[in-house]
Amino acid sequence: MSKAERKRRRKEFTRRLLRSPLVNAVIGGTVRGLIGFVRLLGPKAAGGLADRLSRFVGRFVPESRLALANLAAAFPEKSLEERQAILDNAWASLGRTVVEYVHIDKLIDIDPYHPERGRTEIDGLDQFLALREDGRPGIIFSAHLANWEALAIVAARFDLPVVALFRMPSNNRIAQDLMARREELMGTLVASGRGATFEVAAALDRGEHLGLLTDQHHTGGPRVPFFGRLVSANPLVARLARQYECPVHGARTIRLPDGRFRVELTPPLDMPRDAEGRIDVAGGTALVMSVVEGWVREHPDQWLWLHNRWR
């Protein structure tokens, strides 16, 4: 048996094991217990614990080697120590994001009528209000920066109808808990999969807005530049913008000191067009990725470097 075949069989065995009812129940029960523990700790103590633990554990996770290679290619001018510091902070941000989910309704305390009073800053308030009132479909793309879940919550607080695409966890019990929690805070959610396209199209037909993360590898997507290298990018933003002739906005969350956040919504992008005057899918996808690259360059320690983005 070849090495590749042994590896394939191990992956298949692990996949089946994780889907078994007994393992599902054990994992689900463990996660629920941890959620209860995080809730008892409170947001500040839980965030501090997650920060320290994630920094430590991240040094031993195999994906950290991939992340350091990505950082070396993206920032060749930085020293190994500087890149390691970025990665340590990125692990800390991810750890905080996980535990913040339990307390997210308290952390994102924005008041749409008095946004200056909350702990969450809003940059682009006029864009939120314009999207809410324009009666048109629209697309809002984002990236795995800081606590990306905050964006959908802020939109819901502003009564901005957004249909958010998300990836359903493989564990059924965790998936049910997450779905209930997300729908409580974020509005309409659509699990990515075969039927997602129809639900997204129906929402845009109703004049609603689509929110999606667009910074991961997309097999078969157009090859566009990202940190000086070509990546296969998700063309969904540009394709839907072309089909519906609707505005495209970028949105991101920035982690601030003392457990605060800033949420930014850009004005509509000037999407490139082809000779017929329609939005160019490849060019539009490249523009979206250039915006994401700018965000990551500004706050590299808040992005998820662990994905195999350049394949």
Closest CA to 284 of 73, 139, 132, 127: 139
d(CA 86, CA 302) in angstroms, rounded, equals: 8
Which residues are registered as beta bridge partners of 138?
A: 209
pLDDT in tens, the chain (311 residues): 677 777 676 766 566 655 666 555 554 555 556 666 667 777 788 888 889 989 998 988 889 999 999 999 999 999 999 999 999 999 999 888 888 877 777 777 777 777 777 778 888 888 888 888 888 899 999 999 998 888 888 888 888 878 877 665 555 554 555 555 555 556 666 666 666 777 788 888 888 888 889 998 999 999 999 999 999 999 999 999 999 999 999 999 999 988 889 999 999 999 999 999 999 999 999 999 999 999 999 999 999 998 888 88
Query: Helices 172-186 & 21-41, crossing angle to 10 degrees?
Result: 40
